[in-house]
Amino acid sequence: MRHFDYVKADSAEAAVAEGGADVHFIAGGTNLLDLMKLQIETPTKLVDISRLDLARTEDTPEGGLSIGALVTNSDLANDARVRARFPVLARALLAGASPQLRNKATTGGNLLQRTRCYYFYDTARACNKREPGSGCAAQGGYNRIMAVLGTSEDCIATHPSDMAVAMRALDAVVVTLQPGGDRRRIAIGDFHRLPGDTPQIEHVLTPGELITHVELPPAPAGKQIYRKVRDRASYAFALVSVAGIVAVEDGEIASAALAFGGIGTVPWRNPAVEAALVGQAPSTAVFEAAADALLAGAKGQGSNDFKIPLARRVLIASLRDLTGDAA
């Protein structure tokens, strides 16, 4: 690990004042410290924000929730309001990592965690995300966990977060503080960036910009589900996951919000999937049409080809659970 400066911030304003291109904020550190040990991340300064007053979850006047960036995954998953009004989020959080990690990992850090691509972590192999212009060893390599949607010629790495997938389905808003003192509100769908030809740029935050809160709108109508398919029952990243919210009225699907993990380079949501469902009576044919919309353009790379039929089956099974349809 390289030498770096360490600063404790006593306010959000003081934290962003320390910010810069080679400066990292640290709270739980569950991802960052591993990356620093491997010298994948080499900040010149760490700004400790763990003591800031950002560890509360509060009701908003509109009926939603304001979640501080330092609220731990465990506390958020076990918050009675989250369990009652946003169970898809509670289930996604509890499906991630281990109890020990959930006790340290924070809401803001979870949104910013980096891919678990094998080649990103192997500094002896080419990775455009780690070293722009070096190539992508995952393409043509062992790519079982990689993405099949949102990929590019430069990167096929999967986004790892469970929480972010649920936040995507819930239309969360990320609230930040910029170094100049301005506040910014970023829709979760605009927060993460597709890799394109700059896979090293993973989100829209500017240097020194600090996530302070994540806001959820009022609880949506309908049933909520989070289904995660993985290699083992716990402590494993998703091969395919679905965060689903569906309301059925008078025998038809009145509203739907569906986001996916394990298959995209970002937490994946495609409006065409929901459009294929709304206004339709639940049926196998309708669910198949939604799966067709989801997987249009999906591209396997060899050892991850199985994710395409798996995603179809997981989506259809989830829709049956959400609509009560046994077709």
Which ranges of 122-187 would DSSP assign to H, the alpha helix? 163-169
Q: CA-to-CA distance for 318 and 97, rounded, in angstroms?
A: 22
* pLDDT at residue 1, rounded to an integer: 65
* pLDDT at residue 2, rounded to an integer: 87
pLDDT digits (tens, 9 = 90+) for 51-92: 999 999 999 999 999 999 999 999 999 999 999 999 999 999
E strand spans, the chain: 5-8, 23-26, 45-48, 57-59, 65-68, 173-177, 183-187, 210-216, 223-229, 240-249, 252-261
Q: How many CB atoms lie within 10 A of CB 138?
A: 30
Q: Environment class of residue 91 by beta-carbon count within 10 Å: exposed (0-12), middle (13-18) or buried (19+)?
A: buried
* pLDDT at residue 125, rounded to an integer: 97
Q: Looking at the predicted structure, is the pLDDT value of residue 119 above 50? A: yes
Q: CA-to-CA distance for 45 and 240, rounded, in angstroms?
A: 36
pLDDT band, very low/low/confident/very high, at 327 (cuts 50, 70, 90): very low
Chain mean pLDDT for the chain = 97
Residues 223, 245: contact at Cβ < 8 Å? yes
Helix (H, G, I), strand (E, B) or coil at 294: helix
pLDDT band, very low/low/confident/very high, at 326 (cuts 50, 70, 90): very low
pLDDT digits (tens, 9 = 90+) for 215-234: 999 999 999 999 999 999 99
* pLDDT at residue 202, rounded to an integer: 98
Strand 57-59, strand 45-48: pairing:
unpaired
Residues 172, 215: contact at Cβ < 8 Å? yes
Residues 165, 241: contact at Cβ < 8 Å? yes
How many percent of the chain have pLDDT more than 70? Answer: 99
Tell how far CA 211 is from the center of its chain: 15
The residue-averaged pLDDT of 106-131 equals: 98
pLDDT digits (tens, 9 = 90+) for 129-151: 999 999 999 999 999 999 999 99
pLDDT digits (tens, 9 = 90+) for 265-305: 999 999 999 999 999 999 999 999 999 999 999 999 999 99
